[in-house]
Copies of this chain bind each other. A is one copy, B any other.
Amino acid sequence: MKINIKNVAEKAGFSTATVSRVLRNYPGVREQTRKKILNTISELNYEINAVARNLRQKKTYSIGIIVGNVLSQFYSVIAKSVEDTANKYGYNVILCNGDEDPEKELNYLRVLKSNRVDGIILTPTGKNSTYIKHLINSGTRVVLLDRLLEGVNCDTVLVDNAIGAYKAVRHLIERGYKKIGIVNGYLDRTTGAERLRGYLNALREAGITKDDSLIKMGNFKKENGRKLTKELLNQPNKPEAIFTANIDISIGALIAIKEMNLKIPEDIGIVCFDDSDWMSIFEPPITVIRQPVYQLGSQASELLIKKIENEQNDLSINNRIILNTELIIRKSTRKLNNSIK
């Protein structure tokens, strides 16, 4: 049989109010009473019903996070860091897999709202701004992660995507590469748009004219990275090096290169956005742009929880945190002798 606070109160000989005060560690309960009630609680094996508490308190001590793709190493690090941080502050995390699908995202936003989570961390697909605004207006705290959302007023934690991409491509150019391809995600994610911008900036700066046939876009997943890389490297006008825009696309690209029996860096140079252990033990070790993934998640959580707990904060003030990326040079590019410059 399920034990509730009333059972405890009766057995201990006090009212539910007093039991509740003991549970919540309120002052103003005689030590002797407290002990007696605590005893009864453990005798009866009583476990508080958080659902009832949540209803009454209008607070759930839980936050939701909707990630783009749980399968991605990127997001599993995010999940870990959000979990760690939330945990530190006594919050639970409800992890949802948006799967890069706006409909799934909307559905989860609704579910989370309905479950009255105290706040939501979201890597937006870019399509549900209206609902997200509604969420924010109706009091749910939201922090955007990894991607910006135009026209939505809320805290955001990002990486310097354009600069990161610029650094990657700049590195290739410095090594003498001129025909540089990019395998990118869609531009409706700001990560896609910004990384393309960085790529173009680097080309422009070097006086290299943009060649649309070297720019490939699809979703941010592995299979797509593989497909687009093959297209790119099979076309007559093929690049000497490629820049791949996220970890999953990068894995796909490396698979494609392997399947095509091409050698890195002899046949094709590559720089990937996002690091991983595997990147460093790969043969050859892959030059990457490293993002501070763990910090992305922890900063977002900290921001969110701060906003949740600080009731009187001014919702119109929105933080935008931009974290720096770093170029890690390894051995996936080579020096070309036509390094004219």
Chain A interfacial positions (CB closer than 8 Å to B): 2, 45, 47-52, 54-55, 60, 62, 70-71, 73, 75-77, 79-80, 83-84, 92-97, 110-111, 113-116, 134, 138-139, 222, 251, 254-255, 258, 277-278, 280-283
How many angstroms between the C-alpha atoms of A110 and B51 in the bound complex? 13
Q: Is the CB of B60 within 8 A of A71?
A: no
Q: Is the CB of A83 within 8 A of B55?
A: no
How many angstroms between the C-alpha atoms of A62 and B117 in the bound complex? 14
CB distance from A134 to the nearest CB of B (A): 7
CB distance from A59 to the nearest CB of B (A): 10
Q: Which of B47, B60, B80, B110 contacts A70 (CB 8 A)?
A: B80
How many angstroms between the C-alpha atoms of A110 and B45 in the bound complex? 12
A70-B80, A71-B77 given; A47·B110 CB < 8 A: yes
CB distance from A167 to the nearest CB of B (A): 25
A51-B55, A71-B77 given; A111·B83 CB < 8 A: no
CB-nearest residue of chain B relative to A48? B114
Q: Is the CB of B47 within 8 A of A114?
A: yes
Q: Is the CB of B60 within 8 A of A51?
A: yes
A45-B134, A49-B114 given; A76·B70 CB < 8 A: yes
| Among A2, A80, A84, residue most surrounded by chain B Cβ atoms (within 10 Å) | A80
Q: Is the CB of B50 within 8 A of A116?
A: yes
How many angstroms between the C-alpha atoms of A107 and B110 in the bound complex? 28
Q: Is the CB of B50 within 8 A of A114?
A: yes
Residues of B within 8 A of A139 (CB): 2
Q: Is the CB of B71 within 8 A of A138?
A: no
A51-B115, A60-B51 given; A97·B80 CB < 8 A: yes
CB distance from A314 to the nearest CB of B (A): 20
How many angstroms between the C-alpha atoms of A222 and B79 in the bound complex? 18
Q: Is the CB of B222 within 8 A of A251?
A: no
Enumerate 26 A-B pairs (CB-CB under 8 Å) in ascending A order: A45-B134, A48-B114, A49-B116, A50-B114, A51-B60, A51-B116, A52-B55, A55-B55, A62-B94, A70-B79, A70-B80, A70-B83, A73-B73, A76-B76, A76-B79, A79-B97, A83-B97, A84-B97, A92-B94, A92-B111, A92-B115, A93-B95, A93-B96, A94-B94, A95-B95, A255-B277
How many angstroms between the C-alpha atoms of A150 and B61 in the bound complex? 34
CB distance from A285 to the nearest CB of B (A): 9
How many angstroms between the C-alpha atoms of A155 and B22 in the bound complex? 37
CB-nearest residue of chain B relative to A139? B2
Q: Is the CB of B2 within 8 A of A138?
A: yes
Residues of B within 8 A of A60 (CB): 51
Residues of B within 8 A of A96 (CB): 83, 92-93
CB-nearest residue of chain B relative to A90? B111
| Among A70, A75, A97, residue most surrounded by chain B Cβ atoms (within 10 Å) | A70
How many angstroms between the C-alpha atoms of A60 and B52 in the bound complex? 12
Residues of B within 8 A of A92 (CB): 94, 96, 111, 115
Q: Which of B55, B62, B283 contacts A282 (CB 8 A)?
A: B283
Q: Is the CB of B93 within 8 A of A94?
A: yes
How many angstroms between the C-alpha atoms of A96 and B95 in the bound complex? 9
Residues of B within 8 A of A138 (CB): 2
CB-nearest residue of chain B relative to A255? B281
